[in-house]
Structures are given as C-alpha cells and as structure tokens.
Structure 1
Amino acid sequence: MTEQRRADARHPGGHQHQPLPLTACPGCFCPSRLSSPSAQVNAAADSGNTASQDSSNPLTVNGVLGESVTLSLKLPVHQDIQSITWLHNGKSINFILPKAAPDLRISVTDPKRKDRLQLMENYSLQLSNLATADAGLYCAQITTQTSTEFSYYTLQVFRRLRNLQIANHTWLSEIGTCEIHLTCSVENSNDTFLRWQVVGNTSINEANLTISWDPRNSSEQKFTCIAENTVSNISFSVSTQSLCEGVLNMKNHPDTKWIIIVVVVTLICIVITVGLLVWRKKDCLWRTANKYPNTCEKQ
C-alpha cells in the first residue's frame, strides 16, 4: 500500500461540511503552498478547518515522458467522504463528489488535460501521455463530514534513454601498443549517469576512457558503457581486438603508398632504358645509311 502523509483537521462544535459545488472548489488548497505556519492557520480557519501539517516529505513518484503514471490514493476508513479534490501545484485539476449522480460525480477542472486524466480505483489519479509540464507537487484533498485530509506527491518526469553511442580514436604507439580513447554519449543526457564497466567488474564513473593495450602480452578485453537514469538504463560494449584491428594491420603490412612509388619509379627507369636503346639503334642505322659502315660495329 502506498505510503501517504495526512493531517486531520476537526471542526469545533461538531460542525459538518456541506458538499461543495460541482463547478468550484472554495477553500481547496495544499497547506504546503502557504508561506508560513501562521498563514496556514488563518487559511485553514477561513475554510472551516484547523491548521494542517505541511508536505515536507511528499511521496516521490517517477513517470516516463509519453507514458502513464498513477498517483495511488488511500481513502480514510469508515468515514463519510463528501468530496475529493486533486490539485497540481496548488491549482485544482479534478473535483469529485462521490455521492452525486454519475453524470455529476466527476468534474475535470483543468480543460487542457481533460483527455489525459482518469480516475482509477479509490479515486486514484492516472495521468497519461506524460509531458514535462506534468511534473511538480500534487495534492489530494479529501473532505469528510468531520475532517479534511491531504495526501501529497512529487511527480518527476524522465525520458527513456536511447541512442547510446561510443566514439573512438585509436593509434599505434612507438613501442607497438594500441592506444585507445573512448567517449560515451547518449541522447537526452540530462539527469543521466554515464560509466564504464572494465576488466574485473571495475566501474569508472566517467564518460571518457583511455586504454593502452599490448596484443603481445594481453588477451582480448571488453569495455562496456552504461547509461542510467531513474527510469531506464542502456549499455553498449566494444572490444580491444575490434578497435585495434585496423592499426595492427597497418603495422604488419607495408604501406601501400610506398609500394606504388617503387613500382612507378621502376617503370620510369625501364621506359628510359628502352628509349635509349632504341635511339642508339636508330642512330646507328642512320649513320650506316650515310656511308659510315664501321660506326655501328664499333658501337
């Protein structure tokens, strides 16, 4: 059963409440909204009640953006309930007359949320399609024939985490180790806790992680980024083998650029050599044709 903070306020002389009008809620208030204890006493007296305690410790309820949440209400036992008013940050949003005719029993006093408010068992309040504006202090004011009681809730609205990403920068050191720098990020990172789970279940409470891995002396290692908030958590893992594969392949294979340069230079040398041989042959033939028969033989 949900724990709720209540305060009873009884009338002197046994005066009884009359049902409140359906379209209004005179005297409805959350005592914690008042500025001082004396103000609470005066306001309570004006509404026919004695002072009520403030909501210094309301029940915290966590909701998810776009989803539904229920503020569970515990009704006073063996008491004749005249009316129930739900308030959000001091403003009435729903007014109930349990004994009224069905078509007059419930009135949504906040038209903007009419389609998103629903009363459940015991007049608990369900809010659907939660928006960030729904967060704040909620108060259920329960009026009986002899007292007024209050239940307080603090609603927090969070986004579900999604789109966890890991950016990496990897390079090969002069001594042959693979150096890795990882950065973990997530969409809608407000109120989000990021951490890394590393070898031996060690947790590093940072979004950035730097690793030095020597494939000659170490086995493959796995690193997991975990993002958490109050309503959800997601994770993604990477391994040293997959991250370092590219730089290690570069170490074990000659640079393609140098291979191309060597091939091109060799081809140029061959072309020049062949060209010289052809030129000398033609020159010899030309001189022979000009009555120098012994020149080519000497060549």
Structure 2
Amino acid sequence: MFWLLPPLALVFSSPGNTASQNSSNPLTVNGVLGESVTLSLKLPVPTDIQSITWLHDGNSIAFILPKAAPDLHFFVTDPERKDRLQLAENHSLRLSNLTAADAGRYCAQMTIQTSREFSCYTLQVFRRLRNLQTASHTWLSETGTCEIHMTCFVENSKDTFVRWQVVGNTSINEANLTISWDSRNSGEQEFTCIAENPVSNISLSVSTQRLCEGVLSTKNQPDTKWIITVVVVILMCTVTTVGLFVWRRKNCLWRTAETIRNIDYVSVSPGNTVYAHVTHPNRQINSPTPVKSSDFSTIYSTVHQSKESKPISSRTTALNNVI
C-alpha cells in the first residue's frame, strides 16, 4: 500500500503512475507488472535546457532535444524498449507494458548551459495480488470447544504482507491464526484474511461456525467403535450357536446310521414279538477266536398293531426299538 512510500510528492494519473523528483535523492515509484508508469520530470529554473538524457542503471535509454524540430525532438537509444518508451508532458518519460527487468534506478540528466542537474527515481515492479486462499485444521478439545488453526496464502507472495482481522477490528499481523470457539457461549464469528502489496490488496473471510460444523457434528454422534464391537460379538455368538446345533444334528444322524449298520437281522414272530440280533463292533477282540453265541444280544419287543395299520417292515421296526 501507499503508506510504504516516502513522504514525497506522488501523483497518480491514467493510464499509469506519475512521479516527480527534483533532488539527487531517488524517489521510489511503484509500477504494476504489465501496466505503465510515468516518471514525471520537474524542470529547473531557468528552463533553458539544452538536452535531457534518460538513464536506467547508468545506461542511456532515451535522449531529448527540447529546442529541436518535432521529428528530431525525442530519440529512444535502447532498441529493446523502442516500442515501450514515450515522451510525456514536460519531457517526462512514460514506460508501458512493464516487466520485472524494468525495475531499477532511473535518472534524467538535464544539461543547462554549462551545468547539469539530475532527477532520479527507483522503480519497483509488482504483480497485482490474486487467488487468495485459506487453509484450516479443526479438532475438538477435551472441554468440548472447537479448536481452529487457520493459515492464509496468496500467489506471487513476494513483498506481500498478510494479516488476519478479527472481531472488533483487532489485527493480527501474521498469516497463521489459532483460536478456540465454543458454540455454547459464542455466536458465529468471521475472520478476514487481508493480503497487501504496494500496488494492490485483497481479502477473504471465513466463518467459525462453518469451519466447526464437521467437528461439532461428530461430537453428537454415537460411538461407532462401540456399536461395531457389539455387532461383532452378537454375530460370533450366533455363528457359534448355529455351529453347535448343526454339529449335534450331524452327530445324532451319524449314531443312528451306525446303529442301523450294527443290526444283523430283525424278525417278527407270529405272536407280535420282535427279535433283533445286534452285533457289537466296538468290542475289542483279543484273539481271532470263533464267535460265540454270547457275542450277540437278542432284543425282544412286543408290537401292538391295529387292524387298520399297515404292515411294518422288519428293518423299520428294529430301528425304532433300537432308538
């Protein structure tokens, strides 16, 4: 901003900046990249000037003959700036389409009969600020307040001053800001980041409520870890119960099938008595001795049949008596 300039005469006029200096101390002039600036020359008294030579860092860039014919009045001696240097009012110099290389010290050397006078300037070239951005990190403190860390940055930040402006026009002269915000005791607050350089300034505001929305919403949500743990335990118990049931069912069916395989024969006597001959495969036999009658068991069962019932197969009857 312009308070950075020395307290010397500085006049702005379209289409560029105009500055005048009548002493040997250089005047700081700020130009905008891609725009134009005018180095305004204040002529000495008397004004009987023979010639004026404009110098950039000690090198001649333009030559003026005030008393010459119009077509011989102004010469550009720097071919690289031939199309960008123009003569302004009172033999001032106008430089258009500024580049970073145009920055430096400029002097107008004025020859007055047998003496010389100088008017010097220091030209600084800056970019106009753009694309101001903010970044923030929020977290919930143990006391339930929203903690916010904010930072502000801008493109082409060379010679740029960044600061935060908070409630009550309080200014914090740095790009980083950390605050605590309690939604229970404070209303919504806005913080404004301001970026400035000698030729431009931009700003961007952020809201504490908007920044803390995500943090405060998770505070009111149930503990998802606890819910997941409960669900996993229930699933494990369910799987275990189903597994035991299936295992017992298969074991029962296996025992039944094994029993059926151990039945040699089943017969039904005419007097409704069932005779079953059951072997014992699990009985250990120490020596290959002939099988005796004691190695078998005979099961007697009386079956009462109704007149309407259908005949029952001997194998089915035996199965029921075994079970």
User: Which amino acid is 1:156 matched to?
Assistant: Q
Compute the TM-score of the two structures, normalised by the length of structure 1. Answer: 0.73
Contact 2:21 2:42 in 1 (8 A): no
**Within 5 A, what are the aligned runs for 1:172-211?**
172-211=140-179
Match of 1:276 in 2: 244
CA distance in 1, matches of 2:128, 2:321: 97
Q: 2:198 aligns with which of 222, 230, 246?
A: 230
The amino acid across from 1:216 in the alignment is R
Paired amino acid for 1:129: N
Q: What residue is the counterpart of 2:220 in the other structure? A: 252
Q: Counterpart of 2:135 in 1: which secondary structure? A: strand
Q: Distance in 1 between matches of 2:322 and 2:73?
A: 127
Aligned partners of 2:113 and 2:95: how far apart in 1? 29
Which amino acid is the alignment partner of residue 140 of structure 1? Answer: A
User: Once the 2 structures are TM-superposed, how far is the Cα of residue 197 of structure 1 from its aligned partner?
Assistant: 0.6
Q: Does 1:55 align with 2:24?
A: yes
- 1:61 is paired with a residue whose SS is strand
Amino acid at match of 1:244: C
Offset at 1:129? 2.2
The match for 2:5 is none
Matched-pair contact (CA < 8 Å) for 1:170–1:243:
yes
2:137 aligned with 1:165: no
Contact 1:160 1:232 in 2 (8 A): yes
| Cα deviation, residue 228, structure 1 | 1.0
Give the equivalent residue in structure 2 for 1:114.
82
1:90 CA drift (Å): 2.5
The answer to whether the aligner puts 1:155 opposite 2:123 as a matched pair is yes
Identity of aligned residues (%): 77
Whole-Å separation in 1 of the counterparts to 2:244 and 2:200? 77
How big is each residue's C-alpha offset from its partner over 1:181-208, in whole Å with a ceiling of 9 and x where there is no partner? 1122222323221111111111111221
Aligned partner letter, 1:168:
S
Which residue number in structure 1 is paired with residue 253 of structure 2?
285
Distance, in Å, in 2 between the alignment partners of 1:67 and 1:293 is: 109
Write out per-residue CA displacement over residues 123-174 of structure 1, whole angstroms, 9 at most, x where no aligned residue. Answer: 3211122223322222223334576443222222222222322222211111
Change (3 A) 1:214 1:85: same
Which residue in 1 is equivalent to 2:180?
A: 212
Distance in 2 of aligned mates of 1:195 and 1:170: 20
What is aligned with 1:139?
107
- The answer for unaligned runs of 5 or more in structure 2 is 1-8, 12-18, 261-318
Aligned mate of 2:233, from 265, 284, 287: 265
Q: TM-score, normalised by structure 2?
A: 0.68
Structure 1 ranges of 4+ moved more than 6 A: none
CA apart distance, 1:5: 4.2
Query: Distance between the aligned counterparts of 1:256 and 1:146, measured in 2?
Result: 92
Contact 1:180 1:211 in 2 (8 A): yes
User: Over residues 42-80 of structure 1, what are the superposed CA-to-partner deviations in whole Å (9 max), with x where a residue is unaligned?
Assistant: xxxxxxxxxxxx613x33211112221111223457744
Contact 1:288–1:295, Cα closer than 8 Å, also in 2: no
* Distance (Å, rounded) in 2 between the aligned partners of 1:190 and 1:111: 30
Higher mean C-alpha displacement, 225-234 vs 255-264: 255-264
What SS is found at the alignment partner of 1:281?
helix
Distance 2:247 2:51 in 1: 115
Q: Which runs of 5+ in 1 are unaligned?
A: 7-53
RMSD over equivalenced CA pairs, Å: 2.7
Which residue of the other structure, out of 187, 203, 208, is the alignment partner of 1:240? 208
Write the distance in 1 (CA, Å) between the matches of 2:160 and 2:139.
30
Distance change (3 Å), C-alpha of 1:272 and 1:55: same
Q: Which amino acid aligns with 2:35?
A: E
Deviation per residue, 1:219-245 (Å, 9 max, x gap):
111111111111111112211112111
Question: Which structure: larger Rg?
Answer: 2
- 1 or 2, which has the higher strand percentage? 2
Partner of 2:34: 66
